[in-house]
Amino acid sequence: MTARSQAAPDAVFAALTHAATWPSWSPIDSADVEDGDPGDRQQVGDTRIFRTGRNVARERIVELITDRRFVYDNAGGPFRSYLGTVDLAPAPGGGTDITWSATFDPKMPLSGGFWRWYLTRFMQRMADGLAAYPTNPG
């Protein structure tokens, strides 16, 4: 899923690496960090706990390339494996192009089509919210 932010890549990356910002720009209701403060900048290896309604997701940061890439995996939930990637690139004329993608293997057989449909919509909402956040944090 793609979106364009008017903010520079460093501002977009800062929003990604501070779990406390996620409820402000995404459909996520609350964010915590295991053994840390969601207001601090997270690092590779940190596990973040996101709550959306009754759903709880535990996501571990597995790769960070400053101002360019944010990669996480999902520890549990309906997936045997889940790897999400957010790529950031300077946009022509200024701002940041955001590409949010994921690869996954669902636990339930034959549920891949549903998850593809659901995650496509969810990741687009995430990318759109992230694109709007740094230029309109209020």
Q: Looking at the domain assignment, is residue 101 inside a domain? A: yes
The Cα 75–Cα 63 span in angstroms is 15
Residue 138, pLDDT above cutoff 70: no
Q: Looking at the domain assignment, is residue 63 inside a domain? A: yes
What is residue 48's predicted lDDT score, i.e. its pLDDT? 95
Whole-prediction pTM: 0.93
Domain count, the chain: 1
The Cα 5–Cα 84 span in angstroms is 19
Banded model confidence at residue 116, pLDDT cuts 50, 70, 90: very high
**Under a CB-based contact definition with an 8 Å cutoff, are residues 99 and 87 in contact?**
yes
Query: CATH number for the domain including 115?
Result: 3.30.530.20
What is residue 136's predicted lDDT score, i.e. its pLDDT? 57
Q: Looking at the domain assignment, is residue 138 inside a domain? A: no
Domain that holds residue 70: 2-132
**Under a CB-based contact definition with an 8 Å cutoff, are residues 84 and 59 in contact?**
yes
Identify which has the larger pLDDT, 137 or 102. Answer: 102
CA distances from 30 to 12, 52, 91 (A): 19, 7, 30
Q: What are the structure tokens assigned to 130, written together?
A: 């992230």
Q: Looking at the domain assignment, is residue 137 inside a domain? A: no
Q: Could you count the other beta carbons within 10 Å of the beta carbon of residue 71? A: 16
The 10s digit of each residue's pLDDT in 24-82 is 999 999 999 998 899 999 999 999 999 999 989 999 999 999 999 999 999 678 889 99
Q: Looking at the domain assignment, is residue 118 inside a domain? A: yes
Identify which has the larger pLDDT, 129 or 135. Answer: 129
The Cα 32–Cα 35 span in angstroms is 9
Q: Looking at the domain assignment, is residue 99 inside a domain? A: yes
Query: Residues of the chain with pLDDT > 90: what percent?
Result: 84
**Under a CB-based contact definition with an 8 Å cutoff, are residues 58 and 76 in contact?**
yes
Q: Looking at the domain assignment, is residue 60 inside a domain? A: yes
Mean pLDDT of the region 112-121: 93
